[in-house]
Structure 1
Amino acid sequence: MDSVLRAAAMYLALMVLFKIAGRRSLAELTTFDFVLLMIIGEATQQALLGDDFSLTNSMLVIVTLIAIDVGLSLLKQRSQWVSQLIDGGPTIIVENGKLLHKRLRHARLIEADVMEAARSSQGIETLEQIKFAILERNGKISVIAV
């Protein structure tokens, strides 16, 4: 039972921490992000298993984590509120060539991030060529040209 509670607590803690970290951190990993995720993974493994490294305990933890994930997915399907709480929604960060600075700060993005997405997806070179730039739920930036 201890392993089930540990798994549930760690799942919840990581969901909250990654929600606080923001969508950008999960969209494209830098070297720093990758190293950080490796360290988090190791710390999580130690917290999940404690001193019991048996196959049975490992399987119990894995089954618990998958059950929680499936349960939350089902909840998200049935409730828009739960889906919005867990995954958030798309955020417009550029409108008619104008940066929405408050939303950019909240998402911890800078103009260079928007322009990189605009160049790579649409070949856009200036902010004025962007009708909308949208930070999607998955952390990617979608760009709609004028």
Structure 2
Amino acid sequence: MIENMLFQDWSGIIRTILVGTLAYAGLVAFLRISGKRTLAKLNAFDLVVTVALGSTLATILLSESVALAEGLTAFALLIGLQYLVAKSSVGSGRIARLVRSEPRLVMHKGEILHDALRRERVTEEELLSVIRNNGSAAPEEIAAVVLESDGSFSVIPKPQDGSAADFASADLPSRG
């Protein structure tokens, strides 16, 4: 029983090497054809596609019930659907609103915007951690923190001369 967990037979290893190499080459080819946008992770939908591609590759590698042709078809389908959704969202504001979230201002001029944090389900401690990870010691040193549509945070420090920040909060959704 233990030996089956460690080694079953050479055919499984040879299949993994052969199919894995071909699946990897196929994925690289599809990604080169589809362009940089496929793995851009600009929003949650892009992240889901990236994770799904990785999961599909793992399934092709380890599941003998999935043939290489089926796996490559799955790659093509995921990349094709991502392309269609991205192209549709560029052409239609309605589709864009369905697919991606807007950035949200969660701190402005050192002031934590608690309503925005609550809406985005981010705690004040998490926000302060983001600020510290950015190299700032205190919220007063920050002009703004934006929760981006991909879930990352952009921390905009106050200018060194102490003047007001030169960023356009009008370009962001409401602060509240």
Amino acid at match of 2:108: E
Instruction: Supply the distance in 1 between the matched residues of 2:105 and 2:143 (Cα, whole angstroms).
Output: 10
Instruction: Summarize deviations over 1:30-69 as a string: whole Å, max 9, x none.
Output: xxxxxxx89xx48xx6xxxxxx623332222222111101
Q: Name the SS for the 1:143 alignment partner.
A: strand
Instruction: Supply the distance in 2 between the matched residues of 1:88 and 1:82 (Cα, whole angstroms).
Output: 11
Please report the RMSD computed on the Cα atoms of aligned residues, expressed in angstroms. 3.2
The structure, 1 or 2, with the larger RCO (C-alpha pairs under 8 Å, 6+ apart) is: 1
Instruction: Supply the distance in 1 between the matched residues of 2:94 and 2:111 (Cα, whole angstroms).
Output: 30
Amino acid at match of 1:144: I
Q: Which has the higher helix share?
A: 1
Report whether the alignment pairs 1:143 with 2:155: yes
Structure 1 or 2, whichever has the larger Rg, is 2
Tell me, yes or no, if the aligned pair for 1:115 and 1:125 is still in contact at 8 Å.
no
The number of equivalent residue pairs is: 106
Q: Name the SS for the 1:104 alignment partner.
A: helix
Q: CA deviation at 1:118?
A: 1.9
Structure 2 stretches of 5 or more lacking a match? Answer: 1-42, 60-64, 159-176
Instruction: Summarize deviations over 1:111-130 as a string: whole Å, max 9, x none.
Output: 22222222333x32222222
Report whether the alignment pairs 1:56 with 2:69: yes
Instruction: Summarize deviations over 1:5-52 as a string: whole Å, max 9, x none.
Output: xxxxxxxxxxxxxxxxx96xx7xxxxxxxxxx89xx48xx6xxxxxx6
Report whether the alignment pairs 1:75 with 2:103: no
Instruction: Supply the distance in 1 between the matched residues of 2:98 and 2:111 (Cα, whole angstroms).
Output: 28
